Structure 1
């Protein structure tokens, strides 16, 4: 009898050796090296006689990056960009999360406003730049507003989707125990939405960082976007390439800060 039961038991699935070992440790360094080689091939071999690309190869760019890191203006520009980015993200979160809660919990309202939301979220935030400058002047305010316009829709739509996915049974149990709306929000809704909001914030950060750089080319005298424009006006193409590298590296680090920690270990 016991032999028969043992035969009927499902056998544990074998884990492939590659999955058990995890990603190859040299995969990312190899990909980075391949990208640098492609960069060198384009700038230093194929376009070496070009007045622009011929001066933007890995060698001159690396020297320019080192020079930039030693200049105080680089820290000032990075701080200005981060200040505007965080202000825009804060505005997007303050407006987008409540709007997502409202749309996700009111099907009729979401259905009625769907065309308006679609038009607004597919309009480039930079199209609002002239109006933002007219209404808010020049400086940090219009740049932060453009970042907020870009970041609000990931926050809103992700929150609305998460609200629609809430377990109705859990909400019903809490309500049957006499919980108020505020208590339902604090005990069920907020804990369930937290990972979704963090994921939306990571997505909004990437979109906001992309919008921030061109927005800083409009009427400001600091920021990494302004540094790109300034290097172009001075025809300093190695410095232009170095600034682009710093913008990408900063965006990468910001994204890593919001990336959820990976679980390790073989426990259940």
Structure 2
């Protein structure tokens, strides 16, 4: 592996003229190296801890039992139905947050006085842990599903608002002045100039929101639902199937990684100048 790294460091030009194929090979090589290091550390730390007599019952958390349990998950219909349930909840929650957060972000960024008025409330409420809203959600909403939607929406609306606001503030003011001089109304400025110019920031806000939603999802599904990744993790813990529990954790990471990568692909498909990596 070190030979491969040296090879890529020697032969791959880091300038903008690097071909797509070489750049992809470079990323794959380092990504594979990082994965190997992660598995090695997992194995090393696991064996140092879980081979002790007092922790022997947790040996299912080691890599080999986890891999076997993960293979079983692939053919488990309950697992795939839980994945579907979790993806549905994340989609609904983020959609609610997007419908609320996008207009607010556009308006806050466009009207400076509104930004000054909302700054303190927004910063205050967004710093409240989403998990702390659980008792409120259970009291207000009649069903556990609605409570989960609320928790995901309340945790993801803030990155959408703040990133959209930032995108509006980065619009070239000369474009706005030119449009005003030609008689453009505020709604025309928003629709024709500000929204198209803010698309990269809006997509980034969705990526950030997805990361937050995926973190909040698992504790939210402890509320009392009978499906979802959080539910089957809780079930594996209660039945002391630690290999299955670790396999589900790994599956959550893989699904989240795929979702994040999908948004990155969408970002790259837009012909805008981007500020993300």
Bucket of the pairwise TM-score, normalised by the shorter protein: 0.7 to 0.9
Name the counterpart of 1:17.
13
Single out whichever of 90-99 and 104-113 deviates more from structure 2: 104-113
The question of 1:200 aligning with 2:205 is answered yes
C-alpha RMSD of the superposition: 2.0
Q: TM-score, normalised by structure 2?
A: 0.84
> Alignment partner of 1:120: what SS?
helix
- Show the counterpart of 1:33: 36
**Residues 139-218 of structure 1: pairs in structure 2 closer than 5 A:** 139-218=144-223
Partner of 1:8: none
Distance apart, 1:220 and its partner CA = 0.9
Q: Distance in 2 between matches of 1:247 and 1:54?
A: 20
Report the counterpart of residue 76 of structure 1 in structure 2: 81
Give how far 1:18 is off.
4.4
**Residues 253 and 77 of structure 1: CA distance in aligned 2, closer, same or farther (over 3 Å):** same
Pair 1:202–1:52, CA change in 2 (3 A): farther
1:43 to 18, 42, 46: 46
Q: 1:31 to 1:228 in 2, by over 3 A?
A: same
Q: Identify, as 1 or 2, the structure richer in helix.
A: 2
User: How far, CA to CA, are the matches of 2:140 and 2:172 in structure 1?
Assistant: 43
Q: Partners of 1:138 and 1:180 in 2: how far apart?
A: 44
Once the 2 structures are TM-superposed, how far is the Cα of residue 24 of structure 1 from its aligned partner? 5.7
Aligned to 2:227: 222
Per the alignment, residue 117 of structure 1 pairs with: 122
CA distance in 2, matches of 1:36, 1:51: 20
Give me the whole-angstrom Cα distance separating, in 1, the residues matched to 2:197 and 2:129: 31
Q: Quick one: which of 253, 261, 269 aligns to 1:256?
A: 261
Q: Which runs of 5+ in 1 are unaligned?
A: 1-15, 264-268
Deviations 1:162-190 (CA, angstroms, capped at 9, x unpaired): 11222222112223323333332222111
User: How far apart are residue 107 of structure 1 and its match?
Assistant: 2.0
CA offsets 1:44-101 (integer angstroms, 9 cap, x no match):
3442131354221111001111111111101110011001000111011111111112
1:233-252 mapped onto 2 (5 Å cutoff):
233-252=238-257
Check conservation: 2:166, 2:201, Cα contact below 8 A.
no
Q: Distance in 2 between the 1:72 and 1:103 partners?
A: 45
Distance 2:172 2:90 in 1: 34
* Closer/same/farther in 2, CA of residues 35 and 262 from structure 1, 3 Å limit: farther
Q: Is the 8 A contact 1:95 1:152 kept in 2?
A: yes
- Give the TM-score, by structure 1 length: 0.87
